[in-house]
Amino acid sequence: MGIFDALNTSVSGLQAQSFALQNISGNIANSSTTGYKGTNTSFEDLVPMSTTPDQQAAGGVRAHAQATITTQGTISATGVGTNMAISGAGFFNVQKPMGIVDNVPVFNGVTNYTRRGDFQLNANGNLVNGAGYYLLGVTVDPKTGNPIGNVPQVLQFQNNFIPAQATTKITYAANLPTKPSTVASSTAVTGSLTALGGLNPADFTPGFNPQIIGTPATPYTDATVTGSGVNNKASVPAPITTATLLSGAPNTDSITSNFSIADTITVNGKTISFHNGGGDTGSAVAGTLSIDLTAPTATLGNLLGAIDLITGTASPSTITTGAITLHTGTTSNLTVTGSNAAAMAALGFTPTITATRGGGGTVGAGVVIGSDQTTFANQSISGGAVTAYDATGTPVNLQLRWAKVDSAALGVPHTDTWNLFYQSNSNATGPQTAWINAGTNFIFGPNGSLISPSGSTIVLNNVQVNNQPLGNLTFNYGAGGLTQYASVGGTTTINQIQQDGYSAGQLQSVAVNNSGLVVGTFSNGQNLNLAAVSLSHFNGPNFLKPLDGGAYAATDQSGVAIAGATGSIGGSAVEGSNTDIADEFTKLIITQQAYSANTKVITTAQTMVQDLLNVLR
């Protein structure tokens, strides 16, 4: 090593610092470039060969570029819906066309990778960033949201059209008032269901009670009616005559007056008659029973047994100290009419006996007819409305109303029970069906929570509104979606009412959400997922080969692209350059000083050589 070696070393230093200056210049020049990743410079010393360490001399230097691809740039909001930025690790999959043929880009199938997310929609419906790279992704089914395939393709959204989707589900949540404020409640009799905001079946056309068919509000219970005690007549000696009908021991089952063959007893519309001789004929259940007055079985006990067969009660009628107790059973109310007032009085009753079974509630046709619409509107409250769609995408105005059909304020066994109705014909008149009961009793407990039905959905079967068929609709009120809490206004508070149908529509615009999904806005007002933006990552991302426009190509040192990434996509934003101007200026000063120092070495070596040459003079 000598003076000339020192000159060579200084020259390598100048070259290395020039290389560093070039990287600094590039970083500063791209300080505003979207997604740009700066290049640092690392220096490597070159040591000349020496046989012994104590003779080792300093060598030259060589500069290397050091990528900062993994260093995050600042993310800034842009307000452009198709812009996107990656927070964390990962790269957008992109391709650059080889050329344009008939205004259509032609690709070679080679995928590159970039962090530059300033994508915008071009005339062909492709998402292209500012450097001309086309975004890749996986399309999804707009109806189901499921991916179509798993191989990323160049995305294109041009004239996308979605067909109509019929409504299949209504999502509903509301609070029903404990005391509905209805028009009829203000004039109703105090203490009645109507006064409590409920619906009175007696106010509707006979045979068209709007409550649910065959489903009592609560289980029916047996009720009784008891006559007065009577003076019983002892039996008479044989032979038995008509005067001995219903005779027996005193104070048991005999009466003071007798029935004759002209008398009848009608029980719930079925007749029991009397005749002389030949034994009993017919059937009590069928209403054709005729009792033989001359038979030994013509006793009060057998007559009561016949009545019990007609009512269907499980509790037989009884006699206590001459007082008869009749049972209604649970099948129907009890009505008994006797043609012989004196004979009925001998039984302890008036000519007509009535008794009403307990519990239950009134069952009916489950519909509101046209002529009853005003009454129904006065005794129910609005449940809101939703625009549903049939299979062709035709909008259908589905109106809902709630009617309280029982109230716990009436005492045991009454409960707070509601029925839901939907309008089937807005132009109904006379006996035409205007509103249909959904067919479910919604029963609320004392704390206002729904206790029945136990699920979270019911099905409205074969819904048709103004001759537009909607088919079966799932009415989903969810867990806790229906409540009954006190309301000052006495009206329904609707928290949610949505449906899943829509008419056909054409794509109007696209945007990227924070889940990395490209969302299309259509002319029918729907926002549907169209594609999922694909990301990739590498085991050695800093060894990717830089390309023009902020893109990279895979190398042997970076490894192949791996689908997916830990980073997340943010919409309407871009990642800026990761260049720090202050840091670059600092490096610039250091590089300048190092370059100047190397020139000083060269100047000094030149002076030393000149001094050596002067020795020869």
The pLDDT of 427-451, averaged and rounded, is: 94
Q: b/e per residue, 208-244, with b = 16+ CB within 10 A? A: bbbbbeeebbbebebbebebeebebbeeeeeebeeeb
pLDDT band at 359 (very low <50, low <70, confident <90, very high): low
pLDDT band for 121, please (50, 70, 90 cuts).
very high
Q: Find tokens 């509103």 and name the residue.
A: 435
| Spatial distance between the Cα atoms of 369 and 423, rounded to a whole number of angstroms | 11
Average pLDDT, stretch 540-555?
A: 95
The two three-digit tokens of residue 558, written as one number: 């970076």
Residues 257-291: tens digit of each pLDDT: 567 788 899 998 899 998 888 888 999 888 899 88
Contact 264, 271 (CB under 8 A): yes
Instruction: Give the pLDDT band of residue 235 (cuts 50, 70, 90).
Output: very low
Pairing of strands 395-406, 381-389: antiparallel
Question: Is 118 buried (19+), middle (13-18) or exposed (0-12) by CB count in 10 A?
Answer: buried
- Boundaries of CATH 2.60.98.20 in the chain? 169-177+202-212+365-499
Residue 324: closest CA among 292, 278, 361, 355: 355
Round to whole Å and give the CA distance between 419 and 484.
13
pLDDT of residue 96: 94
What is the pLDDT, as a whole number, of residue 19?
84
Whole-angstrom distance, CA of residue 497 vs CA of residue 487: 19
Q: What is the DSSP letter of 143?
A: T
| pLDDT (0 to 100) of residue 239 | 39
Residues counted in the chain: 617
pLDDT digits (tens, 9 = 90+) for 69-114: 999 999 999 999 999 999 999 999 999 999 888 888 999 999 999 9
* pLDDT over 70 at 248, yes or no: no
The percentage of residues in the chain with a pLDDT greater than 70, rounded to a whole number, is: 90
What tokens does 190 get?
């105090």
Over residues 286-326, the pLDDT tens digits come to 889 988 877 766 777 778 888 988 888 888 888 777 788 99
Q: What is the DSSP string of 560-616?
A: --EE--S-EEEESEEE-----HHHHHHHHHHHHHHHHHHHHHHHHHHHHHHHHHHHT
pLDDT at 252 over 70: no
* Rounded-to-integer distance, Cα 87 and Cα 73, Å: 9
Phi, psi of 154 (to 5 degrees): -60, 120
Question: Is 574 a residue whose pLDDT tops 90?
Answer: yes
Smallest CA-to-CA distance from 487 within 404, 560, 414, 425 is with 404
| Confidence (pTM) | 0.57
Largest CA distance in the chain: 182
Q: What CATH architecture is 169-177+202-212+365-499?
A: Sandwich (2.60)
Q: Is 553 exposed, middle or buried (0-12, 13-18, 19+ CB in 10 A)?
A: middle
Confidence of residue 161 (pLDDT cuts 50, 70, 90): confident
**Using 50, 70 and 90 to split pLDDT, how confident is the model at 526?**
confident
600: CB partners within 8 A, 6+ apart: none
Helix pair 3-29, 581-615: axis angle to 10 deg: 160
The mean pLDDT value of the chain amounts to: 86
At 400, the amino acid letter reads: L
Check pLDDT > 50 for residue 56: yes
Contacts of 15 (CB under 8 A, 6+ apart): 63
Mean of the pLDDT values across residues 347-356?
A: 88
User: Would you state the structure tokens that stand for residue 148, as one six-digit string?
Assistant: 């179509």
Q: What is the mean pLDDT of residues 174-200?
A: 93
Asked whether the beta carbons of 265 and 337 are under 8 A apart, the reply is: yes
Q: How far apart are CA 516 and CA 29, in angstroms?
A: 31
Closest by Cα among 88, 86, 89, 82 to 130: 82
The rounded radius of gyration (Å) of the Cα atoms in the chain is 48
